Each structure stands twice: as structure tokens, then as C-alpha cells.
Structure 1
């Protein structure tokens, strides 16, 4: 129902405008030199869903046929001309939707350019050829002349009216509501009166060249009232131009041209004014929208910054803080951070890391760089995470930076705890096999430069302990042995539980040369430790140890095999003893009787 009412309304307006333009601007018995109906018909097609286009085309064809029959070439030629006129309007609408589906024909500069090209040139040209040939058959004359007249009259007329027609169809409320706000009624009235006065002075006199004067109220109207103001101002100028043409007075009367040529010139003049004002009005509207969005965004950012636990910063190109949110004071430890370098949030030795991160962000605008460092705050160690990004610079200006800094101590401690748990044996509390392999691989990377010692420690007859005393007692044995190893651990000695009753030792630095003594003390400490079973009985545990000196790069599995061989030798020799590898570098002799005299000499 709504679509039908719109078709009737626009079709009626199309009929009235078409009758007027044919009656008043058909000077030579040929085509009308002003044709505004295409703009109205195209706006109707753009406003309707595609399913309603046929109904609209049929009604418009009927209206065009009536107008041409009454004031044009008569009923014989009215229908074919109507078909061409309606096709032109539909084709323009189809092109606009096809090429600019955003439908921003009066909303953006690019949309206006496409509107001018398609509605003012391409669409009229497509209809001008068949229209010009048909008019040649009706009135004779040159087909080129009639084609050119169609192209110019329809193109300029469509350009002149199309923006206003689209403006009318795009608003859901009457346009007069745009100026009914408090204070705008008087300013709008003033602009209208100024336009009337300047148009009268510019167009009704012919002494001075003054066609540029109407641009002044046009600019004012565009600035204050946007596209609506520009359209109203152009309509007023159009009315004055029509009066001067009709009365043959004013500036257009002095043109040494035929009347139809004057009409085309006036259309061209008015179209230029409209093409000046509409892009300017659109640009101003976009600027106002942008500024409002900027104000809203800034207000939101201020609100977030004032109530956020994170520090929000804006830095200049050198990394100096120009804006800092309230949380910056707490996180930085300074009373004020504006004017300081970003490195003020971190330790003295972290400045180079911060500077390098800023340089990397400046080279890759839009990419986020992350700095995570520990700092001292109030005698406690805290972890800060900084995320920084360079803002895309305008032209050749240096980039600036936006930064967020937050306290991630809880998360970092949780990560450390998770990492520790992942590398810690649950039963004994010693580092696990994964941790041992990590240390082993680190040492193997530089083994040819810094040899190290590696030992495998295996508790003897542990299965018998589990079978005789139960797994609970076996677990206590492992825990007590792990305690002995923790007491023996140092910066140079790293102990770990590999699995089951097997343990590992990595010795570095000065401990490498004392590997035999360290392992013998460990063996004796395990032997002398008295274990208790569930019934209160006591027993002892012994350990066999295989030792290797690693002095060349190899895989961790080869290093394990280097110590595994002497471990089996210790087991074969009766257990509760040490054995040494004969390869992977020089250590002490495999025969423990060759050890220097000491309390550790008795091995069995």
C-alpha cells in the first residue's frame, strides 16, 4: 500500500513537472530544452524495491504519454518517447545501485562523483541516441542535433534536480523539521532573504558581471544547513533565473544567444552551483560527524582511563609521556610521569629494551609490541606488562605511540608456579626428568668448551623394598633420598628424579673435578640413612652410581648412555659402588681402588 501511494505521488509530480517543462521550454518545435522528469523518476526507482519497478515504470510511462500527447508531439509519438524517457530513468537508477550499492550518492564525495557521471552523462547518453533518432523521424532535421539536445537537456536537468529528489526520498520526516530547532528558524530565514537579495542583484542587472555572487549565500546555506540548505538556495537561484529568462531582462538577456541556448547555459550554470555546494555540504557533514565521534570517543577514553587499573599513556615520537592516566602514578612509583620517558616505569637496565621496542613499533605501525619486566615497588618484586603501538603518522611526520601498562604479578607468579610444577617431581619435590633434560641440553651446547659431569644414581633392590614393606614405605624411601640430594645440591650440582628409583646429577664448574668425591659422599649418606618400615623395623638402602665426563657436543640420549654404561657396571660389580665411564672425555679410573686415600676409599 505504501509503495502504491509513493508511485502515485511521484507519478503525479512527474506529470506536472513534465507538462510544465514541455510547455515552457519547447521553443523550436522539437525537444524540450529543460527536462527534469528523469530525476524524479530515477529517485522513485531508487526508493522502491525491485519487485515494484514494473508497476512504477507502467504508471510513469502512462504519465509521460499523457504529457507528450497534450503538450508535445501528439498521441502518435507519445508512447515510444515515453518508453525511452522511462527507460532512461530506470537505467540511471540501475547503474547507481549496481556501481554504488552503498547508496551514498548524496552522502560522500565519491558518491556525488558517481551520481554526476551516471545521472548526468551515462544514463542520458544511452537514451539520447534512440531518442534523437526518433525525434528526427518526427520533425526532421539533423539526428546529431536532436541527440545532442536530448543529452544536454536531460543531463543538465537531471543533475539539477536529482540531489534534491534523493534528499526528499531519503528523509523519513519532513525537511522543514531540519530548521525547526531553537535558534535555527531565524538563521534559516536570514539565509533565504540573503539569497533572494543577492540573486536579485546578480541576475536582474546586466551592468556588472556578477554571476559569482550567489555563491556567497550558497556557501553559507551549505555550512549551516547542509544539503538541505544548498538545495533550497539553488532552487531560489533557479526561480530568479527562470524569471529573468521569461522577462528577457538581466544578465542572461545580454547573452548573444538563441533562447534555447540561453536555457541550456542557465541549466549549466545552475548545475555548476549545485555541484559546488553539494560536495562542500557533504564534506562539512562528514567533518561534523567525525568531530562528534572524536568528542564521544575522547569522553569514553577519559572515562576508561580515570577508572582503569591499567596505565594508559600517549607518547611523542621520542618516547616521552605526554598523557598518563591516574593509574600511572601507582604503577610507575613516581608522583608524576608526564615529561618522563616510558623507561621510567621499569628498571635502569631495561631502558635499552624499551627503546628497542619503541623503534620496532615505529617501523611497523599498527603492530603491538609487548614488554614484560620485573620491577621493585615498595620492597616487593612486581611484574609489569607494557603493550605499545605506533600511530600511523600523517604525511612525513614522526609516529607517536599509545601504551597500556598493567600489573601482571599474579599472572606471572601463576605461570612460574605452573612451570615449576611442570618441571618438578610431585612425590620427591626434586626437578623431574623434563627439567633434567633441559639443564643437560643447555650444558651440551657448550660441552666442547666447558666440560661437565653427569651421573645416574639408582637405588639398589628397590623393587624388593616395595614388595617387602609396601609402596607407601617405598615412597618414603624416595622422599628421604631426595632430601639427602637437596642437602647436597648447590649452584654447581643439579639433582633430579628421572623416574622410579633412578636419579640424575649434573655437575658444572668446580664440581666437575670433584665429581667422584661428591658422588661417594652421596652414596655413603644414603647408606647411613636409617629407614623405618610400618612395623617400626629399621633397614638401610644402598645406591649404585655411574659417572661420565661430557666434553664434546652430543645428544642428550647419548649423554644418558654415557653414564648408563658405568651404572650397569656398578650393578654388575655388586651394587653400592661407583663406576666411571672410559669415554666422553677423561675422568678418574674405573677402578675405585685407584682413588686417592681418604675416608671414602671403602666403596663396598
Structure 2
């Protein structure tokens, strides 16, 4: 069932069997009065612990060994050899059942390591297992001892439940401890206090149990709590065991406080069980909680040391804020990223510009509303005359009142990443050959202008190089690419904040003119046409040639789709091509509802340079 901690299961079975024999024999001798059943039975705890700590393949061997020792103890000191084997079978069955139930319902096997594990141990080992075995045990006892089987079953349940509940935690602890643990216990700074605690427990238990003048049964709680604090679960188990032995001794000899109780012996045993159970339920969960707290504090100290190490050597600023967004802790990197000599007791907005405080406050409120969710702020700041980008990730820590009691924040310099993003965006919107904006960028600008075309009309022109295919066929694509680059350079010379040029694809270009340039768009296009016509191109052999361009221009004065706007300029471009190329054609004005608001086509033409 439980993974074996012993290197040799056979030796473990023999050892447990011998201890089982000694303990059960002494129990029968000391606690079996008037020829009845033993008042306390710790043997089930020892046997169940054996089943829990050996491999399942050795369970049968363990059962046979325990049955043999139980038979021997009962035959020598109990009910004689005739009934020894049946009682041994019930005893072994009870121990096996307890172990099976524990593994079945608490597979974590934390029976002495957590509060819930202790609860399961007490319920299954102290109640369910003994209750199941008490029926066959009581029936057997009624065949040998005077009295009904119900009475004997109750006595069995009390004795076995008490013994298992008291002894099994200690047995499991001893089975789980290793040599280094005992080596630490045997050191002088621990063994002497342990011996002192043992003597104190014995002395206080004697005072509380052997006299009946004053009600002092609460006194053993004092060494029990002290032992739990000083020695943890092991100390609590040893102290409870000492108090149990002292109580069983006074009960068996009918002296002290138990002698004054005018009730039958089995009721005294029931009272003793209740008393000791209270001690177990008081001490063991306390010891486990203290152990868990010690582990938690050690883990917390290790985690804090690790976080301090990371914070001291991290390029990111690590911050802790109070519920108002004020900085209570800041790592060394905060000085560099904030540009300040000190940031503690300042608001988180101190890392950003004064105009960003409202954004920071809004982000803090959003984080407080959804604790556990990470909010991100990304803003540009000025540091040393340079523009830097900072990224802050913050998360609220939820308090018991369901309000943000604090925040944790990391701040990182993401300038390099931001520049890469800007460069990638620029490249995605830039024509790789000419360096002009590409069709995607052109359409984005066009969409923006169309949003307000009714209030702010603009001019849209399409430019197409004439007979460009002949250039590629005659001089090669390398010369054709050079021509496109030179045309783009001419356009760049004409571009400004109000005049936007882009390469739309192949030999086709586009222009958008806004504001003052809108009124002179025709002049700009005509100058562009002439500049392209007059520019001398060079081929690979040093020869020269000229190219021309046809242009179509439209005035957009109403919101419409980008395709309709492009068609408005494409129509006059087609007319310019059809009319002989190397000319500029104007479209009719696109006004509200597509009505014609200007006279029909106007034609500007300059003779081609052939």
C-alpha cells in the first residue's frame, strides 16, 4: 500500500511482529481485568502501520506473522490456546481493514502531516475499523466470557478505538522518520530538553491523576502544548503516550482520580478515552499546523531571498504599491528607468510623463476591479534627451475584503522592441524598390481622407508610366527598376505634408493632395509630368532615353468607398492613355450623390518627347 521506507521488508515484518507481540502481551496483562477483554488495545495500530509501510506483495506474509504473534500472546496471557486463533484472525483483519480504508479514502497518505489527514486517520482508524471488527470480536468474546455479545462488542470498540487512536500517530511517525532526524534529536541541545519535557510530563500527569482532592486533569495540557511547540508531532505523540500510560495505570489500579468515580469500570474507560481523545485532537493538529507554518516560513524566506536576488540584478523595475498606487518597494533598476534619485513614496505615474497620470490611475482602477488579471501600460517618455518606451505590467493583490490591498508591478524598457515594431510597420507600408509608401499605406491615407471628404475635399491623382513594358523589354528589368527609382525620387521632391505620393504597383503611382495643395493639385501633377518627361534616363551601355507619364486627377468632395474614389481618377487616366499618352486629364468633380459639379473634362497636353 504505502511505499516501503525500509530496505528489507522481511526484517521490517519481523521487527513489527516482535513489537506487536510485546505490546499486546503487556496490554493483556495490565488492562484485562475480571477475565474480560483488554481495556486498551494498541496492537491494531502497530499492525495497521505495518500494512501501510510494506509493499503490497508482502501483505500476506505480514498477516501470517501478525496472526502467529497474536495467537501466541492470547494463548499465553489471555483467553487460552483454544480461542487464540479466532481472536488473532479478527485482530489481523481489523488492522488490514484500517490500512485498506486509509489508502482507499486518503491516498495522499498525509495521515500525520496535515489537518485533514489527521481527521481521516482518527475517523477510519479510531472509529470505522474498530467498529467493523467489534461485531465478530464481540461474538467470539461472548462464547468465552459471560455477558451478551453487544456488551463485548462495545468493549472491543472502545478498547481498540482508544488504542489505535493513541498509538498509530506515533507509530507512523517512527516509521516515517529517518536516521538524520533521530541524529538531530540526539544532539545535546535537543536531547536534554526532550528528557526534561518527558520528566515534566510524567510529574504533571502523576499530580493530575494520583490525587483526587482538586480537579487537575487539565494540567497535562501544559507539557502537551509545550512539547508540540518544541518537538512538533513527535513530541506531541510521545507526550500523549506518556499521559495514556499514566492514565491506564491509575485506571487499572483503581487509584487517584478514577477511584473517586462511582461508575462501572467500562464507563471509566469510556471517560478515559474521551479525555485522551481530546488531548490528541488538541495536540496533534497543533503540532501539524506548527510544522506547516515552519515549512511555510522557510519557503517564504527562501522565496523572498530569491526575489531579492532577482530584483537586485534584474534590468526590470520590480515594484510593490499600496492601494492608492504609491510605491512602497522598488528594485535598484527603478532609479534608471524612472530617471529619479528616489521613487519610494511616489505615485506609479512618476515613471511616466505628467500627462499620463490619468491613464495610470485608470489602469490601477481596472486592475483593482479584476484582481489576478494583468494590466499593461505602454508609454513613451523622455530620458536624457532621448525618447524611450516603457512597458508596465501590473496586477492587484486581492484582500479578504475583496478590495485591492496592494499591487505588484514590473516596468521594462521596451525601446528596442518598439523601434523594431515601428520599423516593421514602416517596412510593411513601404515599397521595397522605390522607398515610397506602398499601396497599403496609400489606401490607409485614402480611407482617412474619405471620412471627412464632405467637410474637407481633397484631390486624388493616378500616375502611369507610358510604354514601360518597352523599357523592360529593350533595356532589361534592372534598367526598368532604376527608372522606377528615379521617378520615385522626382515624386519625393514634390512631396510635402499636404502632398502624399505612393507606388501602387508596377509602373503605377498615386497622389493625394489635401489642404492648400488640393487647390494646386493640377499644377503639381503637370509639373510632375514635365519633370518625368525631361528627366534623362541611362541604360547599361551608357545610352540615354526618356519616358513619359499619363495622369488622371479627380477632386473628391464627398464620402464614398475607396474603390469609387480610385475609379474617379482612373477614368481620366484611361482617357489620357486613349488620347495619346503623356498628358493630364481632369475628372468631373465628385460631389454629393455623385452629381457632376464642374464642366466636362478639361485637357492639359504637352507634346511627347519621342
Q: Pick the TM interval, shorter chain.
A: over 0.9
Q: State the secondary structure of the residue aligned to 1:183.
A: helix
Alignment-derived partner of residue 515 in structure 2: 509
Q: 1:397 to 1:469 in 2, by over 3 A?
A: closer
Q: 1:188 to 1:74 in 2, by over 3 A?
A: closer
Residue 331 (1) aligns with residue 341 (2): no
1:274 to 259, 263, 280: 280
How far did 1:181 drift?
Answer: 3.8
8 A Cα contact 2:397 2:406, kept in partner: yes
Q: State the secondary structure of the residue aligned to 1:399.
A: strand
1:208 to 181, 189, 214: 214
Alignment-derived partner of residue 418 in structure 1: 424
Q: 1:422 to 1:125 in 2, by over 3 A?
A: same
Q: Deviations over 1:62-81 (max 9, x none)?
A: 22222233333333433333
8 A Cα contact 2:465 2:550, kept in partner: yes
Find the aligned partners of 1:31 and 1:43 in 2 and give their Cα distance.
23
Q: State the secondary structure of the residue aligned to 2:459.
A: strand
Moved more, 366-375 or 503-512: 503-512
Moved more, 430-439 or 207-216: 430-439
How far did 1:440 drift?
Answer: 2.9
8 A Cα contact 1:579 1:590, kept in partner: no
Alignment-derived partner of residue 363 in structure 1: 369
Alignment-derived partner of residue 597 in structure 1: none
Q: 1:565 to 1:128 in 2, by over 3 A?
A: farther
Alignment-derived partner of residue 193 in structure 1: 199
Find the aligned partners of 1:603 and 1:320 in 2 and give their Cα distance.
74
8 A Cα contact 2:460 2:513, kept in partner: yes
How far did 1:497 drift?
Answer: 1.0
Q: State the secondary structure of the residue aligned to 2:436.
A: coil
8 A Cα contact 2:583 2:606, kept in partner: no
How far did 1:215 drift?
Answer: 0.6
TM-score in terms of structure 1 length: 0.93
Find the aligned partners of 1:114 and 1:223 in 2 and give their Cα distance.
23
Q: 1:204 to 1:495 in 2, by over 3 A?
A: same
Structure 2 unmatched ranges of 5 or more: 1-6
2:527 to 518, 521, 527: 521
Q: 1:467 to 1:179 in 2, by over 3 A?
A: same
How far did 1:140 drift?
Answer: 5.6
Q: 1:318 to 1:100 in 2, by over 3 A?
A: same
How far did 1:321 drift?
Answer: 0.4
Structure 1 unmatched ranges of 5 or more: 594-599
How far did 1:148 drift?
Answer: 1.9
How far did 1:462 drift?
Answer: 0.5
Q: State the secondary structure of the residue aligned to 1:366.
A: coil
1:136 to 125, 136, 142: 142
8 A Cα contact 2:431 2:438, kept in partner: yes
Q: 1:246 to 1:72 in 2, by over 3 A?
A: closer
Moved more, 169-178 or 330-339: 169-178
Find the aligned partners of 2:607 and 2:84 in 1 and give their Cα distance.
124
1:287 to 290, 293, 299: 293
How far did 1:5 drift?
Answer: 0.6
Q: State the secondary structure of the residue aligned to 1:579.
A: strand
Write the mapping of 1:459-498 to structure 2, written as runs, cut at 5 A.
Answer: 459-498=465-504
8 A Cα contact 1:580 1:587, kept in partner: no
Find the aligned partners of 1:449 and 1:125 in 2 and give their Cα distance.
92
Q: 1:525 to 1:551 in 2, by over 3 A?
A: same
Q: Deviations over 1:546-597 (max 9, x none)?
A: 233445555444443343333222211211222344474367555224xxxx
Moved more, 385-394 or 513-522: 513-522
Alignment-derived partner of residue 3 in structure 2: none
8 A Cα contact 1:546 1:578, kept in partner: yes
Residue 392 (1) aligns with residue 393 (2): no
TM-score in terms of structure 2 length: 0.92
Find the aligned partners of 1:482 and 1:305 in 2 and give their Cα distance.
52
Q: State the secondary structure of the residue aligned to 2:404.
A: coil
2:58 to 25, 39, 52: 52
2:240 to 229, 234, 238: 234
Q: 1:603 to 1:339 in 2, by over 3 A?
A: farther
How far did 1:47 drift?
Answer: 0.7
8 A Cα contact 2:582 2:606, kept in partner: no
Find the aligned partners of 1:559 and 1:130 in 2 and give their Cα distance.
98
How far did 1:333 drift?
Answer: 0.7
How far did 1:184 drift?
Answer: 2.4
- How many positions carry a matched residue from both structures? 598
Alignment-derived partner of residue 88 in structure 2: 82
Q: Deviations over 1:224-259 (max 9, x none)?
A: 110111112122222322332243321122111223
